Structure 1
Amino acid sequence: MATGKKRKVDAECRAFQEKWTNDYFFVEVKGKPVCLVCGDALAVMKKANLERHYISKHAKLNELQGQMLKVNALRRSLGAQQAVFTRPHSDRENVIHTSFVVSKLIAKKLKPHSDGEFVKECLVAAAELLAPEKVKLFQSVSLSRRTVAERITDMAQDIETTLNDIGKKFQFFSLACDETTDITNTAQLAIFVRGITAEFETTEELLSLQAMHGTTKGEDLFEQVVLAMNKFELPFDKLCGLATDGAPAMLGQKKGLTALIKKEMSRLNLDPSDLVVCHCIIHQESLCAHSLKL
């Protein structure tokens, strides 16, 4: 004997009818009929179910049927009850978002992480004057030194993940490299990437800032470039351009960064002549300005 398939409620495609609000005090909430009087939600959008619920629990409200003022009052009451549960969740999200926004500003302005605590004091003081009912929300914003550091780390990791995802779509990309020394006398190699996808969407971002604690020879620069490319899964067969300054470590004929990249391309059976090498125009402008001053 063949067994029929079990009918699913979702497959019945029942639609809520507006007249049920006046007749049985029901409204539709997220695809389910909800009683305006007691707040119960029924599983099936069916007139018989709504009528049975109304007769068994709220028959004494017959005199209110069709009175839109009362129906609207019940509807507002239901909305207020639902907001009681959704508002705290929204407030928590806004508090966390505020913590991230302030941490981002601290990072962009190169301020100490401990400044977050001072910023919080300012926010609370302003809230006490401008929005006293929101003071507790501002007090709950976490901006301790440790929290700010964690927020900045999370944002940096998110940027890396996003850039990694975008880099996988590149059809071709070019790099710009510049080596400098920071205030702690540590050499830093800034590597910028500019790539284009099959949909001709162009992305230009700081790919990596590589710290070099030893020498800054061409071999050292090449090693850091390869590490950054591997980290973001950027292959040499899609590298089409390289921009550098005129330093020997960059443009040395045998051991400069450019020469080593071309050598690596040859090892991978790629044509080094396809790599377009150019001298950074900003460095050229700076050299010209310096020469004119002399």
Structure 2
Amino acid sequence: MVAGLKKQQSAFTRSRDIADGAVRASYIIANELVQASKPFSDGELVKTCMLKAAEVVCPEKRPAFANISLTRNTVADRVTELSSDLSSQMKEKIKSFIAFSIAIDESTDVTDIAQLAIFIRGVDETLTITEELLELVPMNDTTTADDIFSSLVGALDKVGVDWSRAVSLATDGAPSMVGRKAGVATKFRDKDLTPNIDALVKAKRCQVSGASSSK
């Protein structure tokens, strides 16, 4: 009886490990599809190819590959969960910044829609520097300084930045960005809560992500 129970437990553990492995594999493949800018529906093609290969290379392992769910809906769910996890990690990292800077660039994509790229670079107490593309915001209507600044504030507030730790803003130098009276740089400076902000925040003109060549 004891031997039979142990055999059942071993079979259950093995089955659970196979199921867990199939789930992990679906996350890995979903991430690869996104990295390659492939449609979610390509997951089914990937699975078909895996099964064909398994039949030739390791027929005994085919059932394990068959357990990997790569339907369009599953891939979409995996990508959503991965995105949520990355967002949570980024928020936690940003909370640790003792100082950060922002770089923004507004340019038009191939569909003639203006896109605002927002980059954040920060340093924590261990002097570890982190630089990430925070968000790519579509500007569907106008691209005035107010529109750009509103999108910038929305993106930064979404991740919970401490505005008092902002030290610089880099832009592509467009008039709406650097205007002294109502430019994004001026609005950014006014938004910051640091008392000596005029000494800390510098509005810089630079080329961001090939901005000059894209306009």
Q: TM-score, normalised by structure 1?
A: 0.66
Kindly report the root-mean-square deviation, in angstroms, between the aligned alpha carbons of the 2 structures: 2.5
Q: Which residue of 2 aligns with 1:173?
A: 100
Indicate yes or no: 2:70 matched with 1:143. Answer: yes
Secondary structure of the structure 2 residue equivalent to 1:200: coil
Name the count of aligned residue pairs. 213
The amino acid across from 1:276 in the alignment is K
1:26-105 superposed matches below 5 A: 38=2, 83-105=10-32
Contact 1:243 1:278 in 2 (8 A): yes
Indicate yes or no: 2:186 matched with 1:259. Answer: yes
Deviations 1:52-105 (A, max 9, x none): xxxxxxxxxxxxxxxxxxxxxxxxxx6x76542322121111111111111111
Unaligned runs of 5+ in 1: 1-36, 40-77
Q: Which residue of 2 aligns with 1:280?
A: 206
Cα offset, 1:274, TM superposition: 0.6
Q: Distance in 1 between matches of 2:136 and 2:196?
A: 27
Contact 2:105 2:208 in 1 (8 A): no
Q: Residues 204 and 156 from structure 1, CA distance in 2 versus in 1: closer, same or farther, beyond 3 angstroms?
A: same
The amino acid across from 1:272 in the alignment is D
Higher normalized contact order (CA 8 Å, seq sep 6+, divided by chain length): 2
Q: Distance in 2 between matches of 1:183 and 1:157?
A: 28
Q: Which residue of 2 aligns with 1:220?
A: 147
Q: What stretches of structure 1 move > 6 A for 4+ residues in a row?
A: none
Q: Which residue of 2 aligns with 1:206?
A: 133
Q: 2:57 aligns with which of 126, 130, 142?
A: 130
Q: Distance in 2 between matches of 1:142 and 1:270?
A: 55
Q: Distance in 1 between matches of 2:112 and 2:211?
A: 22
Q: Distance in 2 between matches of 1:164 and 1:198?
A: 16
The amino acid across from 2:188 in the alignment is I
1:175-190 superposed matches below 5 A: 175-190=102-117
Q: Residues 161 and 189 from structure 1, CA distance in 2 versus in 1: closer, same or farther, beyond 3 angstroms?
A: same
Q: Distance in 1 between matches of 2:211 and 2:129?
A: 27
The amino acid across from 2:138 in the alignment is A
Secondary structure of the structure 2 residue equivalent to 1:86: helix
The amino acid across from 1:173 in the alignment is F
Cα offset, 1:229, TM superposition: 1.2
Secondary structure of the structure 2 residue equivalent to 1:243: strand
Q: Which moved more, 1:106-115 or 1:155-164?
A: 106-115
Q: Distance in 1 between matches of 2:205 and 2:9?
A: 63
Contact 1:263 1:272 in 2 (8 A): no
Q: Which residue of 1 aligns with 2:169?
A: 242
Q: Residues 182 and 145 from structure 1, CA distance in 2 versus in 1: closer, same or farther, beyond 3 angstroms?
A: farther
Secondary structure of the structure 1 residue equivalent to 2:91: helix
